[in-house]
Amino acid sequence: MDLNLAGKRALITGASKGIGRASATMLADEGCDVILVARDAATLDEAASAIRARRQVSVRTIAADLSQQDAVERVAAEAGEIDILVNNAGAIPPGAITGVDNETWRRAWDLKVFGYISLCRAVYPSMAARRTGVIVNVIGAAGEHFDPNYIAGSAGNAGLMAFTRALGKGAKRDGVRVVGINPGPIATQRMEMLMRARATKELGDADRWRELTSGMAYGRPGTPEEIAAAVAFLASPRSAYTNATILTIDGGPG
């Protein structure tokens, strides 16, 4: 299916690996010019080179820490007018209420929660002025499940879900769409790190972490490419009547 995305300009955050990199690759495969944003310039350059080898589109990189407001403003200025924003940067650490200290909680929210909000605020006026644009916020299914052992993530993701729906509710007046995706367990480097820690604790061997995925839907985690396919579709004119809603991709309820 042609998603009618050729020639669109997309900005993807957290684009050096995982879901962000897969989303940038998928959008480039659909003909989008892409701007990759992440903190590590070397990893960004490697991702950009891989995308250029696949498809003859414009691929730019901007190294930035989106937990900082001045960096958000710089990214928005350097990117210029964009048609698609994919917010994906940020990873909130696990822990119960007494296991995440204030500094860790605030630092994590500065990148993921306020980073998403700040970048939306930076690019939305241009989209509204042109009466076109799509924002896709990749959030996380913990925002629906309220895990007490992932309390900072559950609370932050729930906040971003509400933000996405509220922004989208008003965006239709401006010709803009705002949607969210809540991935469940996805086979990324971060997931492996967390599963290794859990395997060490529960099984006494970090290398047995794959045994812990057997109870997931279909006996496996999802893939970054499965999330990226949804990102591309939701960002495309094929999904032009989808707005102010959240798509959960977790293999189905348990």
* Contacts for 134 with CB less than 8 Å, ≥ 6 apart: 83, 84, 85, 176, 177, 178, 179, 234, 235
> Annotated catalytic residue: which of 116, 150, 218, 241?
150
DSSP 6: T
From the centroid of its chain, how far is CA 182?
9
Separation between Cα atoms, residue 228 and residue 51, nearest integer Å: 14
Separation between Cα atoms, residue 84 and residue 240, nearest integer Å: 13
69-79 vs 113-130: helix crossing angle, rounded to 10:
30
Q: Please choose, from the candidates 138, 13, 19, the residue with its C-alpha nearest in 3D space to the C-alpha of residue 75.
A: 13
* Catalytic site includes residue 150: yes
Catalytic residues: 150
